């Protein structure tokens, strides 16, 4: 059996015999498996390199917020073991409204600075989080310029596009204002990471947390059409969105996840970055 050593290890960790493992969808960073236990229970195992930060982030969210996340049973750099969450339903309008309530509450959790007490990852890519007093400085240096440089070093962002990102970076204060406080964000809340069951969000997985302008989370929610009108109507009932978000900041903030995708995949995502640069640089 291909997974026998893994099953034996999971048996030792859980104290219950792990009898079978089958692949689950997802797993940009590692292989994701549904593992059946001898008592009929199930756990989810993620196997790959550098998984400890993901386990830490899930535990952080469980401690600091009411965002539903899978309980972490074990986390090290090669294995993340989590509770199994019953899900698989679509992110319909009812679930979108529930997601808005959950994220609005999460965004109400603040901290002393932008960033986090440790560095994390997004899609397996390093995500530096040095505590920073001003959001503009944090977003410019540790999100936009950092990820553009990561993509350039990987050979996926042309030098000419990198130069344009640098030009935009020195002009960000034309469009970005300081938010009232740093907000805890999930950081990677696209549709594949929002697990739904019977019109509710059952769990949000694969976090990339830090304290940010909450609008960067909202922007990402529009990038791949994860959230629509039902989400934003409910979110604004709880936390009004500041003027200028839809007009400018949404596209500026989406440069970060797009650059993450350039770093990971290259290809057409470079064109998406260039289209936003065209809008703001002419």
Domains and CATH numbers, the chain: 4-83 (3.30.200.20), 93-281 (3.90.1200.10)
* Inter-residue contact 225 to 90 (CB < 8 Å): no
Residue 238, number of CB atoms within 10 A of its CB: 13
pLDDT in tens, 20-36: 999 987 656 678 999 99
**Euclidean distance between CA atoms 251 and 126, whole angstroms:** 22
Integer CA distances (angstroms), 220 to 170, 201, 224, 241, 264, in order:
22, 18, 8, 14, 17
pLDDT given for residue 26 in this prediction: 63
pLDDT given for residue 3 in this prediction: 80
- Return the half-sphere exposure (C-beta side, CA atoms, 13 A cut-off) of residue 90: 3
Pick the catalytic residue: 76, 137, 188, 237? Answer: 188
* Inter-residue contact 177 to 249 (CB < 8 Å): no
Q: Is 188 a catalytic residue?
A: yes
Segments in the chain below pLDDT 50: 1
pLDDT given for residue 4 in this prediction: 87
């Amino acid at each position: 059996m291909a997974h026998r050593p893994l099953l034996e290890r999971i048996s030792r960790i859980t104290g219950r015999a792990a009898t079978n493992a089958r692949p689950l969808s997802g797993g940009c960073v590692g292989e994701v498996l549904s593992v059946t236990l001898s008592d009929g229970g199930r756990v989810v195992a993620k196997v790959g390199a550098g998984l400890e930060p993901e386990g830490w982030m899930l535990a952080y969210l469980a401690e600091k917020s009411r965002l539903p996340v899978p309980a972490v049973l074990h986390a090290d750099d090669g294995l993340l073991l989590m509770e199994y969450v019953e899900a698989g339903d679509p992110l319909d309008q009812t679930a979108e409204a529930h997601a808005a309530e959950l994220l609005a509450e999460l965004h109400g959790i603040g901290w002393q600075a932008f960033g986090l007490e440790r560095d994390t990852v997004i899609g397996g890519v390093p995500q530096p989080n040095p505590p920073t007093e001003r959001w503009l400085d944090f977003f410019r240096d540790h999100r936009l310029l950092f990820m553009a440089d990561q993509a350039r070093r990987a050979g996926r962002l042309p030098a000419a596009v990198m130069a344009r990102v640098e030009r935009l970076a020195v002009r960000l204060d034309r469009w970005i204002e300081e938010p009232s406080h740093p907000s805890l964000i999930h950081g990677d809340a696209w549709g594949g990471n929002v697990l739904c069951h019977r019109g509710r969000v059952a769990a949000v997985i694969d976090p990339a947390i830090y304290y940010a302008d909450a609008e960067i989370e909202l922007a990402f929610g529009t990038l791949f059409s994860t959230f629509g009108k039902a989400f934003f109507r409910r979110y604004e009932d709880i936390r009004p969105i500041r003027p200028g978000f839809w007009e400018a900041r949404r596209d500026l903030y989406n440069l970060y996840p797009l650059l993450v995708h350039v770093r990971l995949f290259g290809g057409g995502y470079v064109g998406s970055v260039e289209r936003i640069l065209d809008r703001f640089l002419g």
